[in-house]
Chains A and B, each alone.
Chain A
């Protein structure tokens, strides 16, 4: 959000004489760039808008095929239903009954627990192993790293069944450890991502610390981690978002109400009987609510992330 603002202010400033280098010719390029950007923003934001619009529409308006940009009879009932606050009579009248029992807040709590643990785990362990792959010298290091990277090429669906069998034998089905386990320790992508940053740090900084008598652990903790704040924050956000969107694994391992995460809980808004269509309004309302925490997190983090990247760039 913030990064879209800053070019805007630069552009505004550019209209004034002091810092302008070229006055002519550039305008068309700018306009084209802004048009392209506006189009991209529109393409990426319009589905969000349509989701919100569907969430606020009554079921009968949706069915009659109303295409207007603003819901003709706006209603909050769908949001209420998604939060489990609507009475069965209201839903029957609106025609959006579903069979499954929805408990949005439990699912939200579960999603937060799962994503937070996965993020903490991955950032901790991936930064340690990425540092090891970047800096420590041990026999076969590069070969191991290569082997590790090839794991990126295995589609996750291939490991679904073996992982499932393992978790089942551990007795971890329908528990948080079972849902978290495959993501908790490391992913090749995160290690690759961080290793690139670690390689970029000048060795002299570390050598100086070594001369001063610091051990590897101390260097990692007190020197590397603070310098790596921006990439680590980026990785944390990426991991959190990916974990938030994970569907298949939590579906097969954690489908009982006490551990069910939001993505799986949205199943409550599938077709309730073989002869009915999904209740689109409540489905979109719940999807919107499920996306909301990520949206808030992104808005809160975006400025900091940009700042952090700028800061590390100066260093």
Chain B
């Protein structure tokens, strides 16, 4: 019996040290929990939090970091369990569903100059009913990451890569460059006779198969350079165009590159990860977003450069995406959360973000700071900003039912890459399924 009492005591004690989410700190300040998924950005936003706390001594910001793979499921559990962070970093692919299920608060734009942000970014966070679900805090584009040493060794100049052309038929000069950069186990290059596509030591181009649905770091820029538009209007399109021949051509070219041995297969790409493959010299080029600059440029023993994506018939294009911060409806400290979110979207925080040179701030006037800060570290980021200058950007596609649509598109595209079926057999059917999803959601 005594054991039982001890046990019960133990359980109570455990309960005691388990609870602690009252939302207040020990010294009576309001504790705001802020969710984030990127290690590189944590110190930056910690600096913002420090500045914010100086202005608001009664609020303390606690940054909680989770991996992308765990972040969204953790949020979903948090919404149900009512343990979500008060404020969290939101993504364009996720917020429409959060807005429709009313787990995030719209923000009030009064008193904020919405024209201070780069054109188009703020509009992405506006729902069809006109509610604003966040202030843009950064933006990103996608460019080629270049292993300069391998490039030099293959005899290709930066000039050639920067002005590379692309078309879906023969891949243009870009395909020739990628082929030359590919080296098999016997040291034969991809454009030499006797090249063995089954045993490749270094792939000319890396592959990030994570988000094939919108192809941010894969097909999106290439297809856009053909004039392809995925949605009938963006944001809040009502019709997807996966049945467009330009999409079929682009994605079929992608499959050809894998079959030729110039790019890793889906299976390899998934286990290796693009950035790790690049860093270890298994890929000479990678297509990745500016949020990964510090990862790539931090690679030891490799000279890393950045080039714009190859120019298609309509020029060099990139997907254009940005993040914002969302307020959870269940927060016990709404006024403080609003204050923090407004601060994150203000020049005060964005100038800190710019100077840190991790991501590009969303406020126009702060962007040069980021460019300069990168330059100071010896990194030329003009490839990423080039699209903004030329206006060659496609906004991240925003529609209802994005998670459900992803469940249809991602596996179908993976199957296509692994298989031999012609595009005409696969994509129109997939597109019908996708549009059927939207049709049933819009009433």
Contact = CB atoms under 8 A, between A and B. Distances in A.
B210 interface: yes
B68 A176 contact: no
A199 to B, nearest CB: 25
Nearest to B287: A275
Ranked 9 nearest A-B pairs via Cβ: A277-B273, A175-B18, A176-B14, A270-B69, A60-B280, A63-B280, A271-B69, A267-B70, A270-B67
B315 interface: no
A174 B33 CA distance: 16
B289 interface: yes
Given A64-B281, A173-B81, A176-B15, A98 B272 contact: no
A50 B426 CA distance: 40
A29 B105 CA distance: 73
A67 interface: no
Nearest to B81: A173
Contacts of B149: none
B369 interface: no
Given A174-B18, A275-B217, A277-B271, A117 B279 contact: no
B351 interface: no
Given A93-B300, A180-B11, A174 B19 contact: yes
Interface in B66-122: 66-71, 74, 77, 80-83
Interface stretch (B2-10, B155-163, B370-378, B385-393): B2-10
A276 B83 contact: no
A60 B273 contact: no
A269 B288 CA distance: 21
Which interface residue of B17, B273, B282, B299 has the most chain A CB atoms within 10 A?
A: B273
B65 interface: yes
Interface residues on A, range: 35 or more
Interface in A66-125: 88, 92-93, 95, 97-101, 113, 117, 120-121, 124
Contacts of B10: 117
13 contacts: A60-B281, A95-B280, A99-B37, A101-B65, A117-B7, A117-B11, A178-B18, A258-B18, A267-B70, A268-B67, A275-B217, A276-B273, A276-B274
Interface residues of B, number: 56
B276 A59 contact: yes
Contacts of B292: 273, 275
A311 B276 CA distance: 56
Nearest to A89: B298
Contact of A275 (B17, B82, B210): B210
Contact of A97 (B11, B39, B66): B39
Given A100-B67, A267-B70, A177 B11 contact: yes
Contacts of B135: none
B403 to A, nearest CB: 14
Contact of A98 (B67, B208, B270): B67
Most chain A CB within a 10 A radius of its CB, from B18, B208, B271: B18
A255 B20 CA distance: 13
B276 A276 contact: yes
A275 B288 contact: yes
Contact of A124 (B4, B68, B277, B281): B4
Contacts of B66: 99-100, 267
Contacts of A117: 7, 10-11, 14
A95 B68 CA distance: 16
Interface in A19-46: none
A258 B64 CA distance: 13
Contact of A277 (B39, B272, B282, B299): B272
Contact of A256 (B21, B291, B294, B295): B21
Contacts of A180: 11, 14
Given A271-B273, A274-B210, A277-B271, 9 more contacts: A95-B280, A97-B40, A99-B68, A124-B3, A168-B80, A251-B77, A267-B67, A270-B70, A274-B68
A51 to B, nearest CB: 16
A63 B39 contact: no
B18 A259 contact: yes
Interface in B208-236: 208, 210-211, 217
B38 A99 contact: yes
A277 B276 CA distance: 8
A168 B83 CA distance: 11
Nearest to B78: A255
Given A270-B67, A275-B210, A275-B288, A63 B277 contact: yes
A278 interface: yes
Contacts of B275: 95, 275-276
Nearest to B288: A275
Contacts of A251: 77
Interface in A146-177: 164, 168, 172-177
Given A276-B274, A277-B272, A99 B11 contact: no
A174 B68 contact: no
B38 to A, nearest CB: 6
A174 B70 CA distance: 17
Interface in B177-212: 208, 210-211
A210 interface: no
B83 A256 contact: yes
Interface string A270-292: 11111111100000000000000
Nearest to A181: B11
A203 to B, nearest CB: 26
A157 B7 CA distance: 28
A229 B422 CA distance: 67
A276 B272 CA distance: 8
A93 B301 CA distance: 10
A223 interface: no
A300 interface: no
A252 interface: yes
Interface in B270-321: 270-277, 279-282, 288-289, 291-292, 294-295, 298-300
A278 B7 contact: no
B37 A273 contact: yes
A147 B442 CA distance: 48
A267 B277 CA distance: 22
Contacts of A60: 276, 279-281
Nearest to B42: A99
B15 A177 contact: yes
Contacts of B295: 92, 95, 97, 276
A34 B402 CA distance: 56
A268 to B, nearest CB: 7
A113 B14 contact: yes
Contacts of A252: 77, 81
Contact of B270 (A100, A174, A268, A277): A277
Given A124-B3, A256-B83, A100 B15 contact: no
A159 to B, nearest CB: 17
